[in-house]
Amino acid sequence: MQDIKAIIPAKDKWVSLVWQVNDWCNFRCTYCSEWNWAGRNKNDDDIPLIVTTLERIIKQYQSKGYKYFKLYLSGGEPTYWKALIPVVEKFRELVEWPGSAVGINTNFSRPLSWWEEHHHLFEDVVASYHPEWTKEEKYMTNYKFLQDKKNYLCSRVMMQKENFQQCVDFTQRIKDECDNYIIEYAPVYDELRPSTEPYHYDDPEQLAFIKSHTTDRQQNIEIKKQPNYAWAKVWLEDGSVKPIDTNEIIVDGKNFFKGWTCNIHESLHIHPNGNIQQASCGVGPIIGNIVRGEFDVTIDQGIVCPKTHCHCAADFNISKARPEYAEKLL
């Protein structure tokens, strides 16, 4: 991949709401910190207040000219959060369609009946495959049901080095059994937490596989909604522009944006304790708490990034540019 000059929006002004709705998960993956699954913040109590605060957030951004919104829900495991359905229904009521979207990152442990009832609420589904815990038959049943119903249905296979061949075999099963698929070969960080360092693979064959495999796609049957894969575009050194591929950026080592201008106000990260922070990287200020009903957004100019590297896919999609291009593009 060429060097990147800038990452720019693929559509009109938009805001991403990256919401880690809880820190409870029914999986206990060895590469994942208990920060993601221990259940200290289930956030199941004051659901009406949470919904009302979400409405305030969206309306404040709308008052400042932001047209589209992407709500991206993760956990823990978000499908077990009691507020999930009322939150998503309120979001869909408030924002502009078409153009906005709801995405969810799930471990696919819910049964098919859950997806049959609720799949219409989500444009995008990222289904993580965790080799130590995933029940493959249930996963495949859910995936096959959704394969023609989502704008973006992605199998994010966590390429754990201890179970590497199992992960490779599973990706082949998806290719053999599914008409439509998107597969992300996700490098596993040493421990999944906000300050994690880049991944490390000691086996040269595993490393070569990771570097040669980022994303595979196939579409053989019609999707019932119009696909819209990218919310951001990368502007490359030769002047060409292409849709962003976050895995490619990581694998090719292009996620080092220190010194770039970054519009962190385009993304809000809501933590399991309810704190609302600009961007997911921890650089932005905390500007409210959704479980306490607190929020006040300030639309600022971009900041100069102080971080060594960017590790969150949501933050990759924020508008950002090298210093010599920032004034022109941002």
Is residue 227 pLDDT above 50, yes or no?
no
Which residue did the predictor score with more confidence, 186 or 327? 186
- Give the pLDDT confidence of 131-150 residue by residue, as tens digits: 999 999 999 999 999 999 99
Q: What does the block give as tokens for 8? A: 């720019």
* DSSP conformation class of 192: B
One-letter amino acid for residue 134 of the chain: T
The reported pLDDT for the residue numbered 229 is: 47
The reported pLDDT for the residue numbered 199 is: 64
Q: How many CB atoms lie within 10 A of CB 124?
A: 19
pTM score of the predicted model: 0.86
- Give the pLDDT confidence of 282-308 residue by residue, as tens digits: 888 899 999 999 998 776 678 999 998
Is residue 194 pLDDT above 50, yes or no?
no
Mean pLDDT along residues 208-227: 80
Q: Kindly report the backbone phi and psi dihedral angles of residue 163, in degrees, each rounded to the nearest multiple of 5, phi listed first.
A: -130, 40
Q: Using DSSP, state whether 260 is helix, strand or coil.
A: coil
Mean pLDDT along residues 24-40: 87
Is residue 192 pLDDT above 60, yes or no?
no
Q: How confident is the model at residue 108 (pLDDT cuts 50, 70, 90)?
A: very high
The residues that bridge with 104 in the sheet, in sequence order, are 73, 125
Mean pLDDT value across the chain: 88
Which residue did the predictor score with more confidence, 40 or 126? 126
Q: Strand ranges (DSSP E) for 152-297?
A: 152-159, 180-187, 215-219, 232-236, 241-243, 261-262, 267-270, 275-278, 286-289, 294-295
Q: What does the block give as tokens for 120? A: 């219409």
Mean pLDDT along residues 64-71: 90
Q: Please, which residues have CB within 8 angstroms of residue 287's CB and are 6 or more apart in sequence? A: 268, 276, 277, 278, 295, 296, 297, 298
- Give the pLDDT confidence of 75-93 residue by residue, as tens digits: 999 999 999 999 999 999 9
The reported pLDDT for the residue numbered 20 is: 94
The third-level CATH classification (topology) of the domain covering 4-329 is: TIM Barrel (3.20.20)
